Amino acid sequence: MKNSYHHFALLLLSLTVMTSLQAQALHLPQNTNLHCQTGRRLNVTDIDITWNAPGVKGREGKIWGTPVAYYGYDVLGYGSEVKSPWRAGADESTVISFSTDVMINGKKLAAGKYGFFIALYPDSCVLIFNKNTEGWGSYFYRSDLDVLHVVTVQQKNQPQLVERLTYNFYNQTEKSVEIALEWERWKIPFTVEVDAMNNTLEYIRTQMSGALGFDPPSLEQAALWCSSNNVNLDQALQWINAATDPQLGGSSTFRALSTKAAILQKQGKGAEADAIMEKALENGSVTEIHGYGRQLLGQKKNKEAFAVFEKNYKKYQGAWPTNAGMMRGYSALGDTKSALKHAKMAVEQAPDAQNKDFLQRCVEKLEQGKTID
């Protein structure tokens, strides 16, 4: 009886060890399909792609339209009984995610994470974005989980053979980027577009609802962005009021006050804006005031610009770049004689060769009685 118990105990221990070893099976490096990940930030939108990259492995000309990357939909077997598109990679499903809503070749796709499949054809493709991101490729593909189908055209016969399937980004702008699947001699591109203005505004609002909503420099930056883009002005005014409130740790710098003045001006509160701008000019550095004068010239407010340049000249007693400002101010009013006088003084003050060359050209132009652009 004792021996039987001993043998049973040994058998149980053996089974336990075998089970443990199976659970800890050795994972050796694989030299087949490479697990890959890439991403790109487009404005404030994060794009991430994860896929397994098969290699051509000498099969050039035998990839597309074959069991490797078949055309249309096919029943793949191994328990799969549905017609499925290609998995746009190998092994597990290719997954692509967008942190905001986007447009894929002009069609709207909500923010989220998607399984990515492609129905291949000789001269075109159907891109498929599917809710299932956990599948083993497309073996158990469910069309009822499709969110978006997009028809695109692939570019074949690329000059450079791409050995490993990859996803690359091209032609990025502020609002769009091209993503291309490239493998062997094929390139399958599609364009992702974002609503840069609204996405950025929502991003700023989210940031301002957290710890940054108590940080004066961040509040000032958020208000300045809104003012520059002429959006969300009421909330921007709240942010800049907080940023300049001394009880909240704010300060009345030139940039902060000029931002507030600009918002008030755009809200139609001209008198209040002018009063705030006067305070900003009192606190401005010589370069800040000069820059504001240049800004007014750009808005064709020549008289207002001259008044700012003159204030700067007197406040900083003719220091650089106030003579250059007076030159621009007088020129904008058509007084080339007075502009020439200050231009010559500005040449002598120029801090570098670039400024000196520019001012010398201004002198030559003013001497001919011509105004400066």
What is the per-residue pLDDT for 4?
A: 46
Can you give the three-state secondary structure of 184-221, one letter per residue? ECEEEEEEEECCHHHHHHHHHHHHHCCHHHHCHHHHHH
The values of phi and psi at residue 130, to 5°, are: -125, 145
What are the pLDDT digits (tens) for 216-236?
Answer: 999 999 999 999 999 999 999
Spatial distance between the Cα atoms of 310 and 292, rounded to a whole number of angstroms: 12
Query: Which residues of the chain are modeled with pLDDT < 70?
Result: 1-31
Q: For position 2, what pLDDT does the model report?
A: 46
Which H or E run contains 39?
strand 34-42
Domain ranges of the chain: 34-194, 197-335
56: Cβ contacts below 8 Å, ≥ 6 apart: 63, 161, 162, 163, 164, 183, 184
CA 371/CA 363 separation, integer angstroms: 10
- Tell me the C-alpha distance between 119 and 127, whole Å: 7
pLDDT tens, position by position, 283-318: 999 999 999 999 999 999 999 999 999 999 999 999
**295: Cα within 13 Å, side-chain hemisphere:** 10
What's the CA dihedral at 220, 222, 227, 229 to 10 degrees?
Answer: 150
| Burial class of residue 67 (count of CB atoms within 10 Å of its CB; 0-12, 13-18, 19+) | exposed
pLDDT at 23: 44
Q: How far apart are CA 313 and CA 341, in angstroms?
A: 14
Q: Tens of pLDDT along 131-167? A: 999 998 888 999 999 999 999 999 998 999 999 999 9
Q: What would the CATH number be for the domain defined by 197-335?
A: 1.25.40
Residues with Cβ < 8 Å from 155, sequence gap 6 or more? 186, 187, 188, 189
What pairs with residue 162 in β-bridges? 184
Q: Other C-beta atoms within 10 Å of 59: how many?
A: 12
pLDDT at 31: 53
